[in-house]
Amino acid sequence: MKKWLLVLIVVLLAGAATWRLTRPEPVAVRVAAVARGTVQETVANTRVGTVEACRRARMSPAAAGQVAALNVGEGDTVTAAAVLLEIWNDDLRAELRLAEAEAGAAHSRAEEACAMATGARREADRLAKLRARQLVSEEIADEAQTRADSQQAACEAALASTRVSAARIAVARETLERTRLRAPFAGVVAEVDVKLGEFLTPSPPGIATKPAIDLIDPGCIYISAPIDEVDAPRIRTGMPACVTLDAFDDRWCDASVSRIAPYVLDREKQARTVEVEVVFDAATDTNRLLPGYSADIEILIDAHEGVPRIPSEAVIEGDHVLVFDAASGTLARRAIVRGLSNWEHTEIVDGLREGERVVTSTGREGVVDGAAATLEESP
């Protein structure tokens, strides 16, 4: 009897030792407790966006020719209507002076013709009165009337010539103005792609060429970014948005949606997007934001406050989590009902109680349903 008891004890000890040696080691996991807080549902751009200037003009002169005057350099601040550059135009200036001189001569001729017409009219009226008193012949009175009408016609023709001369001056001035490149608004010269003495040629129809001067208005900027076509229908103008830039650590959340493009861009057939524009509030200091910076936008669709939430990284396969059971030291897979969700937090509608701990290190090897687990020590 004692032998059998001894054998049983040995077998049990051997089994215990074997189980202890072959059982899997508990996996260390990170956990987070279900707690109440705010969960926001947001939409972000699919590809990088860009800081754009509200007003930007990439300009070249309308006329071809040699650059005779270059009045600005890169970084210069200019006022509206300032002459940025001028094509050689001495010939056009001479034509304008000629037109102005001809206009002066035409004006003098008109004054002479009209003065003679006035005198002829007075003479015709005087002879008409004498004819009524039978003091002059009818033939003399008729000749005076004819001269008066002729002089009046000459006056009107001379006045018409002055109008033609004025029109020629206007044409000459407009032709001369085509050789000048003026700033359409006050701004900063971003780029100058021409040098004094070089020849400029306007772009042929349908063929774009590099502009001579790039002018921007840095006082007004906005963010333009592509949003996936699936998310676009939920966006409305006026929705609040946050902006982040690679060039700064700041996050601007005093912005809103100002425009949603009425069409879908299909440059990438498998990633169709809708262009969305975001503007900052009037009180926001945007002096540091230069046009051309890369930027990302995050548009707030909805928000729930004071709701149970967990880190979004704890959610697996869409609607499941791994719950850490401290009593048994194991993990248990559990289905959940989600509410709003973003990259940081997911709202829990059902399936978890406040205070329960869910695994956030779900990507580690061995983190599966039923696995033994220990809590990872905080660094």
> What pLDDT digit, counting tens, does each position of 62-99 carry?
888 999 999 999 989 999 999 999 999 999 999 999 99
Residue 11 lies in a domain: no
Same domain, 320 and 342: yes
Phi, psi values for residue 105, rounded to 5°: -65, -40
> What's the pLDDT tens digit per position in 288-344?
888 889 999 999 999 999 999 999 999 998 799 999 998 888 999 999 999 998 888
Q: Is the pLDDT of residue 12 over 90?
A: no
Angle at 273 between CA 268 and CA 278, to 5 degrees: 140
pLDDT band of residue 378 (cuts 50, 70, 90) is low
Judgement on whether residues 228 and 283 belong to the same structural domain of the protein: yes
Q: Does 21 fall in a domain?
A: no
Number of domains in the chain: 4
Task: Specify whether 210 is located in the same domain as 273.
Answer: no
Query: Residues with Cβ < 8 Å from 148, sequence gap 6 or more?
Result: 117, 120, 121, 123, 124
* pLDDT on residue 182: 94
CA torsion 216→198→177→92, rounded to 10°?
Answer: 170
Domain final residue, candidates 303, 331, 356: 303
Distance CA 219, CA 50 (A): 16
- Asked if residue 9 is part of any domain, the answer here is no
Domain membership flag for residue 312:
yes
Statement to judge: residues 211 and 254 lie in one domain: no
Segment 241-272, tens digit of pLDDT? 999 998 888 888 899 999 999 998 876 666 78
Q: Tell me the pTM.
A: 0.64
Q: How far apart are CA 279 and CA 259, in angstroms?
A: 9
My answer on whether 158 and 235 are in the same domain is no
Domain range holding 173? 90-177
Please say whether the beta carbons of 148 and 117 come within 8 A. yes
Q: Contact 216/188 with Cβ under 8 angstroms? A: yes
| Residue 235 shares a structural domain with residue 298 | yes
Q: Percentages helix, strand, coil for the chain, rounded to the nearest 5?
A: 30, 35, 35
Domain check: are 232 and 194 in the same one? no
Q: Answer whether residue 133 is part of any domain.
A: yes
Residue 5 lies inside a defined structural domain of this protein? no
The helix/strand count (H/E) of the chain reads as: 3, 23
Domain containing residue 351: CATH number: 2.40.420.20
